[in-house]
A and B are shown apart, each in its own frame.
Chain A
């Protein structure tokens, strides 16, 4: 079987698994909702401050709950040994990396749609379809870099004691460039301002850099695997 077909077979397998159990997407969406509620008690959504903070609130929630998806891209950490199984199968490491990347991206993308809709309703954001489209596109684009980074780091931390905390500690500082850009872009979209070229450049650069570096380093992470 060639690489592309194997990759998509693995993606289909993962999607079917997720479709049957609905575990990852449901956890992510519920976690996002809880965080949205907590933040609404922290900053009263009806005030002027909250309106200004809306892009930040949305992205904090999205980032935190996306981490759950990344954390589970090799099954529930400590319980399932999906990575070991895949490494034993006759597929290349690149195939493993891209199949995880695509399937995790799909779950994160579904979650992002649900959370953005929930956010618009709960925070009573009055905006047009164009702005929502821009935010969603930015979210989907950013998720590529996020997940490619996340798959590599998750492959590392899943075998470490206390790896869940470590994953977040290692992941968050690396996401700051993307976070800064996407919050600025969301602000522009929600206010109806012109979309800045720098924000788009930063998101694209983030994606390209971590797609390249992520795959390269993933091979090193799984290189010492011996069964």
Chain B
């Protein structure tokens, strides 16, 4: 029997991690030295926006991936797509939490309240958080893999369908205090560059998280299959 070896980390993963580290460091440098330190009305509190915006964009991308994965699961029944959708849901939930946390921190400085129940976008994000938390939880509660795949895919689609409805509901029956055009200043292009660079840097970080979880989930599923076979053999059945 061969010795149990420590699993090797793939070189592409390490490169990805290194690139992410460099990009986030560079982003922090840009925030410290490149962008204007404060802008009209909201002063320097706006700096957290460079972390808030990438998290919000990443969260939307991952939730879209949940939808695509879910549709693929229902079409093909593929376990690989189920894994992708599930991990995208988990990472999207982390990004959504980061969005809410940074947004809430900023709100306490700018709106003088941690949580504004009437702000449309905050409410949409919060309800999205709740739906996807349900999605992640649903995966954990079903043991039968075929059922789990199908049920989670069904909810993955429902959760996405809910987003536009929620968006219009809170916009129509609430008000928004989200700053819309606060980059309309001389340094608009500097701010735009930095925030889109931030999106790349942070999406890379969330993607790293996604790849790590995906590899772990794949190992876990393989292990479960092996264990199920061992159990069958022990019970005297065939392999």
Q: Which residues of A contact B (CB under 8 A)?
A: 149, 152-153, 156, 159-162, 166, 169-170, 172-174, 176-178, 180-181, 183-184, 198-199, 202, 205-206, 209-210, 213, 217, 220-221, 223-224
Contacts and interface: CB of A to CB of B under 8 A. Distances in A.
Contacts, number: 84
A176 B166 contact: yes
A213 B138 CA distance: 19
Given A202-B169, A202-B172, A174 B162 contact: yes
A217 B156 CA distance: 11
Interface in B155-186: 155, 157-159, 161-162, 165-166, 168-170, 172-174
The 3 closest A-B pairs by CB, nearest first: A177-B169, A177-B165, A173-B130
A34 B168 CA distance: 33
B30 to A, nearest CB: 37
A152 B155 CA distance: 10
A173 B151 contact: no
A198 B172 contact: yes
B162 A170 contact: no
Given A177-B168, A198-B172, A221 B150 contact: yes
B141 A160 contact: yes
B127 A173 contact: yes
The contact size tier of chain B is: 20 to 34
Contacts of B154: 152, 156, 217, 220-221
Interface of B: 74, 127, 130-131, 134, 137-138, 141-142, 146-147, 150-151, 153-155, 157-159, 161-162, 165-166, 168-170, 172-174
A172 B170 CA distance: 15
Contacts of B151: 156, 221
Nearest to B148: A160
Contacts of A162: 141
Contact of B131 (A173, A199, A220): A173
Contacts of A149: 158
A159 B147 contact: yes
Contact of B150 (A177, A183, A210, A223): A223
Given A176-B127, A221-B154, A169 B137 contact: yes
Nearest to B141: A160
B152 to A, nearest CB: 9
Given A174-B131, A206-B165, A224 B172 contact: no
Contacts of B130: 172-173
A82 to B, nearest CB: 18
B172 to A, nearest CB: 5
Contacts of B155: 153, 156, 170
A153 B138 CA distance: 11
Contacts of B165: 177, 202, 205-206, 209
A161 B141 contact: yes
B202 to A, nearest CB: 25
A170 B142 CA distance: 14
A182 B172 CA distance: 12
Given A160-B141, A161-B141, A166-B137, A174 B158 contact: yes
